Amino acid sequence: MDLNLTELRSRYLQSGEDKWLPIVDAHLHFWDPQQNYHPWLCDEPPITFRYGDYRPIRKPFLPADYRALQGEHRVIGTVYMEAEWDPTDAPGEADWVHGLAQRTGWPNAMIGQAWLDRADVAQQLEALAQFPRLRGVRHKPAALAREDYDPAHCLSGSMRCPNWQRGYAALAQQGLICELQTHWWHLPDLLPLLERYPEVPVVINHTGVPGQRDEATLQGWHQAMARLAAYPQVSVKISGLGMQGRRWRLDDNQRVIQEVIALFGPQRCLFASNFPVDSLVTDLAPLWGAFKQLTTEFSRTERLAMFCDNAIRIYQLDCAELGETTEMAC
């Protein structure tokens, strides 16, 4: 039985049964490296990657592939995250994604790739903003190793770089979201920009990338995330919590998930799969099951917010497009 958003919301609110909980996957990738050039997926040798060997995902991953993995979870919509497309052709990625949406119905919105420290960033953003499903951009700023980090650093291409800051300001002119992926120790670099440009929505990717789970690391991560949580324009995706060399485990991630929800509240947290990248550390259906298991103490409306409604609001999704379907063409 295929149900739309209204029907699923009603059934879930009435019953509280997880089988009716609608999900908008707020962060995933689709790609076809056999047809399109993604340097990290196509070139040799592979890059150094936080999950280790990623050769198993250097192959096409399209909406039908996701559907085949989701099990009985009610995934009714998706938000595409840029996938390190050919850096000489950022609009090409947006064009390909929109073609995919026309053919398959997914994704419902997308985050494009832009380089905020480039001199032509305003032109980049203006070109991307013409695509109707585009809601924002991601640029992974330059970063220092944890042991080398100094709050007064002036690393070129980082959030403290004047060029990067000019690019951030340009987001406001186009009404675009800033999707930020960086190591947790660099998160305080964002604070002056949050003060200066409160109109720019920010979504922190991958739970602030906590890294290892030793006590000192988790305390540092918590303190950095707490500083960001003070700003109402900042939301966070609970995703990307794998660790190299081990499978995704509840006991590795329960504390991180509970703490980030306590810091930001259910109205500013979004669950997401980061597939197919996180297929290196977990299967899709058990991942959604774990997210549900870790949120049983929240109210039905709070769970709806984290699994569905926040993504609809932040990414301005068309509710008429959201619903289940059993046939997704490639």
Measure the CA–CA gap between 218 and 235, rounded to whole angstroms.
Answer: 19
Q: Which residue segment(s) compose the domain that 80 sits in? A: 5-321
In a domain, 327, yes or no: no
Enumerate the β-bridge partners of residue 299: none
**Is the confidence at residue 64, as pLDDT, over 80?**
yes
Which of the two residues, 193 and 330, has the higher pLDDT score?
A: 193
pLDDT of 330 reads 30
Q: How many CB atoms lie within 10 A of CB 55?
A: 11
> Which residues 6+ apart lie within 8 Å of 270 measured at CB?
26, 27, 203, 235, 236, 237, 238, 306, 310, 311, 314
Residue 329 pLDDT level (bands cut at 50, 70, 90): very low
In a domain, 270, yes or no: yes
Tell me the HSE value of 275 on the side-chain side, using a 13 A CA sphere: 24
pLDDT of 324 reads 84
Answer whether the bond into residue 63 is a cis peptide, omega within 30°. no
Residue 69 pLDDT level (bands cut at 50, 70, 90): very high
In a domain, 330, yes or no: no
Q: What is the pLDDT of residues 247-275, one digit of tens each?
A: 999 999 999 999 999 999 999 999 999 99
Q: Classify 288 as helix, strand or coil.
A: helix
In a domain, 328, yes or no: no
- Residue 42, domain CATH: 3.20.20.140
> Which residues 6+ apart lie within 8 Å of 72 measured at CB?
19, 285
Residue 65 pLDDT level (bands cut at 50, 70, 90): very high
Query: What is the pTM assigned to this prediction?
Result: 0.96
**Is the confidence at residue 328, as pLDDT, over 50?**
no
Q: What is the pLDDT of residues 155-179, one digit of tens each?
A: 999 999 999 999 999 999 999 999 9
Residue 1 pLDDT level (bands cut at 50, 70, 90): low
pLDDT of 325 reads 67
Q: How confident is the model over 298-316, as a mean pLDDT? A: 98
> Going edge to edge, which strands form the sheet with 22-28?
22-28, 74-81, 109-113, 134-138, 177-180, 202-204, 234-238, 269-271
Measure the CA–CA gap between 33 and 55, rounded to whole angstroms.
Answer: 12
Alpha carbon distance, N-terminus to C-terminus of the chain? 22
Q: Angle formed by the axes of helices 90-104 and 121-128, to 10°? A: 10
In a domain, 119, yes or no: yes
